[in-house]
């Protein structure tokens, strides 16, 4: 009986410790200013959040940005099959926060957002390796 309980406990811990496929660092699409960033997505409670960790100009040169360290994605709830919804995404180039959803497919993350009925395609972000 003790062996069975230990095995069950280890199975639960192993499942809880398994990383969600959306976790990691993602390269955003080029914004209206010609810049892009790297957003690191991690668990935050039962959802996922992402922070801008680096910013780049259109040539790929790393630049300073007041948005580095800023939360860009938050409250993104996983719904299975690579779908994440009910979250928010901040767009630094437009200084707007959008009600958002994301769809993961391999190393691509499609991002959408709407504010006051106006929707914006956030493009497809690529996983940084």
pLDDT per position as a tens digit, 61-93: 999 999 999 999 999 999 999 999 999 999 999
Position 40 scores a pLDDT of 98
Measured distance CA(44)–CA(23) in Å, rounded: 11
- Residue-range domain boundaries for the chain: 20-127
3: left (phi over 0), alpha (psi -120 to 50) or beta: alpha
pLDDT(16) > 80: no
Predicted structure pTM score: 0.83
Question: Of residues 110 and 129, which shows the higher confidence score?
Answer: 110
Q: Which CATH class is domain 20-127?
A: mainly beta
Q: By the 8 A CB rule, do 23 and 48 touch? A: yes
Contacts of 64 (CB under 8 A, 6+ apart): 55
Per-residue DSSP letter, 18:
S
């Amino acid at each position: 009986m003790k062996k069975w309980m230990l095995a069950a406990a280890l199975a639960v811990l192993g499942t809880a410790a398994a990383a969600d496929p959306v976790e990691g660092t993602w390269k955003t699409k080029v914004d209206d200013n010609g810049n892009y960033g790297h957003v690191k997505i991690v668990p935050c409670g039962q959802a996922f959040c992402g922070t801008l960790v680096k910013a780049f100009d259109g040539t790929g040169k790393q630049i300073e940005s007041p948005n580095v360290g800023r939360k860009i994605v938050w409250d993104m709830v996983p719904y299975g099959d690579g779908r994440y919804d009910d979250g928010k995404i901040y767009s630094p180039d437009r200084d707007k926060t959008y009600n958002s959803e994301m769809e993961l497919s391999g190393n691509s993350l499609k991002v959408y957002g709407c504010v006051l009925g106006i929707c914006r395609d956030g493009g497809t972000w690529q996983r940084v390796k």
